[in-house]
Amino acid sequence: MRRVPHIDNVEVRRAIQRLSSDTTGVEDAIGSLNGSVADIESDIIELQADSGLNARTETAEAAEDIQAGQPVYKLAGLTTIGVARADTIGKRNAVGVALEAKSSGLSCKYALYGALKLEVASLTPGSHYYIGDTGGITATPPTSGAVSLIGHALTTDVLNVRIERPIIL
């Protein structure tokens, strides 16, 4: 049998205190890293939205005045777009979100899907957004007409566009 050397209780306590203080330092470092990772993820979302890196876009002639951030639908013939509305049959099938304000007759770029930075937005991160009754987007699903999910907010000004088919109410 091996003999276990005698260790003074004071030495054990000191060793435990050293380990404890080392653990606190490690926990602080992990907390700091987690905060840094969250900041980096947020920066990546903003960069992608600013540059449109992950958004697929198309361009079509505006059949009416369109504001940036409004959901758009394609009119018959599929060559022009208008403002999508939940309360109007024929305007419920959104195909994208306008990236720029354009007057009727001008070419308008819109996103089919992906992260978009909306300059005038005040979105609630994590919330879903729908086509509004009068055009535009809303966090409150309509109670009549049709409900069509446009996407969800990643940040206060970035909408991840992922359009779903309308559900008629």
Reported as a single tens digit per residue, the pLDDT across 92-101 is 999 999 999 9
Q: Are 148 and 130 in contact (CB under 8 A)?
A: yes
pTM (global) more than 0.75: no
The domain ranges of the chain are 1-51, 56-168
- Given a contact cutoff of 8 angstroms between Cβ atoms, the answer to whether 124 and 139 are in contact is yes
| Residues 70, 29 contacting (CB under 8 angstroms) | no
30 CA to centre of own chain: 27
Find the angle CA(69)-CA(160)-CA(89) to the nearest 5 degrees.
Answer: 55
- 57-88 tens-digit pLDDT: 899 999 999 999 999 999 877 789 999 999 98
Q: Which residues share a beta bridge with 97?
A: 71, 111
Tens digits of pLDDT across the chain (169 residues): 555 555 566 676 677 677 666 656 666 656 665 666 556 655 555 555 454 546 788 999 999 999 999 999 998 777 899 999 999 888 999 999 999 999 999 999 999 999 888 876 689 999 999 999 888 899 999 888 889 999 999 888 889 999 999 898 8
Domain 56-168, architecture per CATH: Beta Barrel (2.40)
Q: Phi then psi for 84, rounded to 5 degrees?
A: -75, 145
Query: Nearest to residue 63, comparing CAs of 88, 91, 99, 87?
Result: 91
